[in-house]
Amino acid sequence: MAAIQRKKLRACRRATEKLDFFDGLPDDLVVCILGKLSASASSPSDFVSILLTCKRFHRLGLHPLVLSKASRETFAIRAANWSDSAHRFLKQSAGAGNVEACYTLGMIRFYCLQNRGSGASLMAKAAIKSHAPALYSLAVIQFNGSGASKGDKDLCAGVSLCARAAFLGHVDALRELGHCLQDGYGVRKNVAEGRRLLVQANARELVAGLRSMTWQPQLHRLCSSTTTTSFCCPLLSDFGCPVPVPEVHPANRFLREWFGLGRGGLGHKLRLCAHGGCGRPETRPHEFRRCSVCGKVNYCSRGCQALDWKVRHKGECSPGEQRWLEEDGGGEIGGGGGMEMVEGEDDGENVIIG
């Protein structure tokens, strides 16, 4: 009797093994599951491994609904791995309406591939959907007149974009807006309000830093493996509290790596923003402002300059070496103080940042 039961059980198990329940799932359910997986992918290889699982995952993984939900990290492509297929993947994801893909591809096209029109319109597509980094990047482009001539700077547009990004919680935009108000740059001067925004930016940074304190062991490991030391330096000395520098957006990391590898796009006499977490290059000679004390470093924005001053340049900046004056034929030197910058172009406009 027991032997018959065992036989029946074995037969039943074999029959169950032959059945693949997964095949019975409808496509829309699989797409929904893949959407959740792509939203939590922590790297491009995470997403690729989903596609490589089976033919069905490969087919449905590239469905617009899945691509539209993919996480920011899915598009954190390393510059060394840039290829036509990576470009196609970003393009397909941007076409599916993924704002992170729009922004990342926009930055790459604008700065690395010299396709300014397409890059700016992709960033605008992300900005319309309230993507704060895209709004801030467009603000930087407007402030500098990037991709066009110096006369194409639109300071008012830069301030409005910055204000929108700051409202959405973008700390760099908040800091930039604070400096604009303090200096009356593109907006009516209001020193007290500017100062208030700068304090708010510092406070937000402090909160973000304290939140990430529990991550510090990992951060330190990451930092020890990078060649740039600027990502681990104590920030917010104003508060006497050493906290890690905010995380770098994958698009900025891509830019930094791209130009670090010398993969092209950076023309003669064009310089990179000296802030290690930025990676933006000049699009014409003397586009960026330079430090008025040493004249050795250039920045795309006052936000980058203020941050780099705190984490790195404060310890390196030394007056006296002013050979750059002859080399650049650039703007006038502002009065003392490491937090002062001069326009890179020969318009004599000094911009003081607090």
Nearer to Zn ion by Cβ, of 123 and 293: the residue is 293
Per-residue exposure over 109-134, b if at least 16 CB sit within 10 Å of its own CB, e if not:
bbbbbebbeebbebbebbbeeebbbb
Asked if 107 and 137 touch (Cβ cutoff 8 Å), the reply is yes
CB of 147 to Zn ion, least distance (A): 15
Max Cα separation, the chain?
102
Least separation in angstroms between CB 85 and Zn ion: 30
Q: Which two tokens stand for residue 67?
A: 């691509």
Phi-psi region of 97 (alpha: psi -120 to 50; beta: other; left: phi over 0): left
Record the tokens describing residue 132, joined without a space.
């704060």
Q: How far is the CB of 268 from Zn ion (least distance, A)?
A: 20
Per DSSP, 330 falls in state -
The residue assigned the tokens 């089976």 is 54
Which of residues 61 and 303 has its CB atom nearest to Zn ion in the complex?
303
Q: Which residues bind Zn ion (CB under 5 A)?
A: 273, 275, 278, 280, 291, 293-294, 300, 304, 317
Collapse the DSSP code of 148 into the 3-class scheme (helix H, G, I; strand E, B; otherwise coil) and give the result: coil
What is the residue whose two structure tokens read 């039943």? 12
Report, in Å, the least distance between residue 289 CB and Zn ion: 10
Q: Would you say 90 or 297 has its CB closer to Zn ion?
A: 297
Q: How far is the CB of 280 from Zn ion (least distance, A)?
A: 5
Q: Which is nearer to Zn ion, 94 or 339 (CB)?
A: 339
What DSSP state is assigned to residue 310?
H
CB of 143 to Zn ion, least distance (A): 11
CB nearer Zn ion, residue 57 or residue 258:
258
Tell me the residue type at 313. H
Cα-Cα end-to-end distance for the chain:
90
Least separation in angstroms between residue 125's CB and Zn ion is 22
**Residue 299 forms beta bridges with which residues?**
289
Question: Which of 105/307 has CB closer to Zn ion?
Answer: 307
Question: How open is the CA angle 56-59-61, to the nearest 5 degrees?
Answer: 95
Q: Pick the closest to residue 53 from 85, 22, 12, 8 (CA basis).
A: 22
Residue 107 corresponds to which tokens in the numbers above? 């930055």
CB of 251 to Zn ion, least distance (A): 13
Quick one: 280 or 289, whose CB is closer to Zn ion?
Answer: 280
Would you say 69 or 253 has its CB closer to Zn ion?
Answer: 253
Q: How many residues does the chain have?
A: 354
